[in-house]
């Protein structure tokens, strides 16, 4: 098996150490020659890079390791770029969440006006790293977690249609881990699922074991009573706000008891409840800054101060395993079945063939081969058509630098009550994002 050369872009991300640790622990199935980190902010990346260097030296000193802010050094001679950048950092996520909430509208990282604002920042950031990759390693693949994945995926479909980028999300995987827990199984990998939708906007229609036994009814009985509120130790989703989200799945499920829903649908289906249960002065961004971000950097500094990673551990969960599975599938043609964000191209036959949808694909050397879904029901189709129009309008607004289209996008979001509220929020978002967004005409 050829040893792979990996670049992690967004080297200073809270998820980087988990992925590095997981890569080092998986060399039997995914052999590695080199890991590099790249970030455009040296001071953010420095502690993560220095801690990962120590960790890797102790776990596997054969793997070459470095970190840099120089794009040429970073992107030259790589097989994969695993990307998870956050343009504007948590300071801007906080504004994405708090500005809409000020006007009684859902304030969320990827959904509604906050997600749209983040999308307008992420598009140029992701295009920049994609262009670096194509310049310095034209045969490499980018496996991209950078959010908001739906808008980023639509932007890369429109603006870099031939690029080797696969946009991914770990939320379905995290929920499938809960399925496995509810069913008393060792791993979600014992399940075969059918799922369709947009990113952060989808439904499971089938869950079976490997012999084809239908497990959906058992899961539905649980969800009808408790949502996805099965106690897990999952690091990313252990905080109070996530516990409430998992409970709320019960009410999302009630709208279509023939399927199982993605948790993010709550922002579109119960926006009034969400706003009523949000604290406009302390949002998810604050929660993450006080917990995950703080903890990751504390561990990094501890490793550096001690000169050893002994006695410490970075969390590496669904997020890290999923991206390594995907890299494995491409590098070694495993044909693993995975949920990915891909152009519809007729997979959902009664839906826009140019929409980016999240559906099961078989993954091999040539990338994803989407599976056919067939026709979807009117409820889901109606919701998805509205939401995909929002995502397309954001990308058009970015390309055309159009105030009008961004106003239309925010107005069309199911989270927003009226065009006037949309305009007020947009004007605040423009002010907050002026160093990031193109100047809108």
The closest alpha carbon to 10, from 89, 73, 94, belongs to 89
Query: Residue 128's binding partner, choosing from ligand LMR, ligand NAD, none, with beta-carbon cut-off 5 to 8 A by kind?
Result: ligand NAD
Measured between alpha carbons, how far is 412 from 422 in angstroms, rounded to an integer?
9
Give the DSSP H/E element, type plus range, for residue 4: strand 4-9
Q: What would the x/- binding string for ligand LMR be over residues 109 to 148, using CB under 6 A?
A: x---------------------------------------
CB atoms within 10 A of CB 242: 18
Residue 85 as a binder of ligand NAD (CB under 6 A): the answer is yes
Among ligand NAD, ligand LMR, none, what does residue 73 contact (CB within 5–8 Å per kind)? none
User: CB–CB of 76/34 below 8 Å?
Assistant: no
Which C-beta is closer to ligand NAD: that of 9 or that of 180? 9
Under rule CB under 6 A, which residues in 176-235 are in contact with ligand NAD?
Answer: none
- Looking at the DSSP bridge assignments, the partners of residue 38 are 9, 68
**Residue 169 interacting with ligand NAD (CB under 6 A):** yes
DSSP code, position 110: S
Of these partners, ligand NAD, ligand LMR, none, which one is at the site of residue 325 (CB under 5 to 8 Å by kind)? Answer: none
Question: Which of 5, 8, 12, 299 touches ligand NAD by CB under 6 A?
Answer: 12
Sign of CA dihedral 321, 327, 328, 333: positive
Residue 4 binds which one of ligand LMR, ligand NAD, none, with CB within 5 to 8 A depending on kind? none
Asked if 79 is part of the footprint of ligand LMR (rule: CB under 6 A), the reply reads no
39 is a site residue for ligand NAD (CB under 6 A):
yes
In a 13 Å sphere around the CA of 39, the CA atoms on its Cβ side amount to 24
Question: Nearest CA to 220 among 232, 230, 228, 231?
Answer: 228
Nearer to ligand NAD, 171 or 216 (CB): 171
Whether the Cβ atoms of residue 114 and residue 415 lie closer than 8 Å to each other = no
Nearer to ligand NAD, 12 or 271 (CB): 12
Q: Binding to ligand NAD (CB under 6 A): which residues in 118-147? A: 125, 128-129, 145-147
| Long-range contact set of residues 360-365: C-beta below 8 Å, sequence gap at least 24 | 360/193, 360/194, 360/195, 361/337, 362/335, 362/336, 362/337, 363/326, 363/329, 363/330, 363/334, 363/335, 363/336, 363/337, 363/338, 364/329, 364/330, 364/333, 364/334, 364/335, 365/330, 365/333
| Residue 15 interface partner, choices ligand LMR, ligand NAD, none, CB cut-off 5-8 Å depending on type | ligand NAD
In the complex with ligand LMR, the residue whose CB is nearer, 14 or 45, is 14
Contact of residue 428 among ligand NAD, ligand LMR, none (CB under 5-8 Å per partner type): none
Nearer to ligand LMR, 236 or 259 (CB): 236
CB atoms inside a 10 Å sphere around CB 353: 12
In the beta sheet, which residues pair with residue 65?
35
Query: CB under 5 to 8 A by kind: which of ligand NAD, ligand LMR, none does 284 bind?
Result: ligand LMR
The nearest distance, CB 61 to ligand LMR, in angstroms, is: 32
Number of residues located near ligand NAD, criterion CB under 6 A: 28
Which residue out of 96, 170, 325, 428 is catalytically annotated?
A: 170
Q: Binding of ligand LMR at residue 288 (CB under 6 A)?
A: yes
147 is in an annotated binding site: yes
Minimum distance, C-beta of residue 273 to ligand LMR, in the bound complex (Å)? 17
Among 16, 45, 137, 236, binds ligand LMR (CB under 6 A): 236
131 is catalytic: no
Q: Of the candidates 63, 52, 55, 65, which has an alpha carbon nearest to the alpha carbon of residue 27?
A: 63
Instruction: Indicate left, alpha or beta for 255 from its phi (over 0: left) and psi (-120 to 50: alpha).
Output: alpha
Catalytic one among 145, 264, 267, 398?
A: 264
Q: 35: part of which helix (H) or strand (E)?
A: strand 32-38
Largest CA distance in the chain: 59
**44 binds ligand NAD, rule: CB under 6 A:** yes
CB 126 within 8 A of CB 92: no
Which residues 379-438 are close enough to bind ligand NAD by CB under 6 A? none
Cβ contact 31:281 at 8 Å: no
The Cα 23–Cα 33 span in angstroms is: 11
Question: Which amino acids are annotated catalytic?
Answer: 170, 264
Instruction: Point out which residues bind ligand NAD (CB under 6 A).
Output: 9-10, 12-15, 39-41, 44-45, 84-87, 89-90, 125, 128-129, 145-147, 149, 169-171, 319
Instruction: Point out which residues bind ligand LMR (CB under 6 A).
Output: 109, 236, 284, 288
Binding residues: 93, 147, 169, 200, 284
């Amino acid at each position: 098996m050829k040893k792979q050369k990996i670049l992690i872009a967004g080297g200073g991300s809270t998820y980087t150490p988990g992925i590095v640790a997981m890569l080092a622990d998986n060399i039997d199935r995914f052999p590695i020659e080199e890991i590099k980190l790249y970030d455009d902010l040296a001071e953010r990346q420095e502690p993560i890079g220095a801690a990962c260097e120590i960790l890797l030296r102790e776990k596997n000193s054969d793997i070459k390791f470095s970190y840099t802010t120089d794009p040429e050094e970073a992107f030259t001679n790589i097989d994969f770029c695993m990307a998870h950048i956050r343009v504007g950092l948590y300071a801007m996520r906080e504004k994405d969440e708090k500005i809409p909430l000020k006007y009684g509208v859902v304030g969320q990282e990827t959904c509604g006006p906050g997600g749209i604002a983040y999308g307008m920042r992420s598009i140029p950031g992701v295009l920049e790293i994609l262009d670096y990759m194509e310049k310095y390693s034209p045969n490499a693949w980018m496996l991209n977690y950078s959010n908001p994945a739906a808008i980023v995926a639509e932007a890369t479909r429109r603006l870099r249609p031939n690029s080797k980028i696969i946009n991914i999300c770990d939320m379905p995987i995290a929920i499938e881990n809960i399925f496995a827990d509810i069913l008393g199984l060792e791993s979600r990998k014992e399940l075969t699922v059918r799922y369709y939708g947009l990113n952060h906007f989808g439904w499971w229609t089938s869950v079976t074991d490997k012999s084809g036994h239908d497990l959906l009814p058992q899961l539905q009985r649980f969800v009808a009573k408790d949502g996805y509120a099965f106690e897990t130790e999952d690091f990313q989703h252990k905080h109070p706000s996530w516990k409430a989200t998992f409970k709320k799945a019960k009410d999302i499920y009630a709208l279509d008891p023939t399927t199982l829903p993605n948790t993010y649908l709550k922002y579109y289906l119960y926006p009034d409840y969400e706003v009523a249960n949000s604290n406009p002065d302390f949002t998810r961004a604050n929660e993450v800054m006080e917990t995950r971000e703080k903890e990751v950097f504390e561990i990094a500094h501890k490793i550096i101060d001690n000169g050893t990673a002994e006695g410490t551990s970075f969390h590496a969960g669904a997020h890290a395993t999923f991206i390594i599975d995907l890299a494995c599938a491409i590098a070694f043609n495993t044909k693993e079945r995975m949920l990915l964000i891909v152009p519809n191209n007729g997979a959902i036959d009664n839906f826009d063939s140019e929409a980016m949808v999240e559906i099961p694909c078989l993954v091999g050397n040539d990338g994803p081969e989407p599976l056919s879904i067939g026709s979807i029901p009117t409820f889901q189709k109606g919701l998805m058509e509205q939401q995909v129009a929002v995502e397309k309008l954001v990308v058009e607004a970015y390309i055309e630098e159009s105030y009008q289209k961004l106003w239309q996008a925010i107005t069309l979001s199911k989270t927003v009550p009226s065009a006037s509220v949309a305009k007020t929020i947009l004007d605040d978002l423009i002010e907050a994002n002026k160093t990031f967004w193109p100047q809108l005409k």
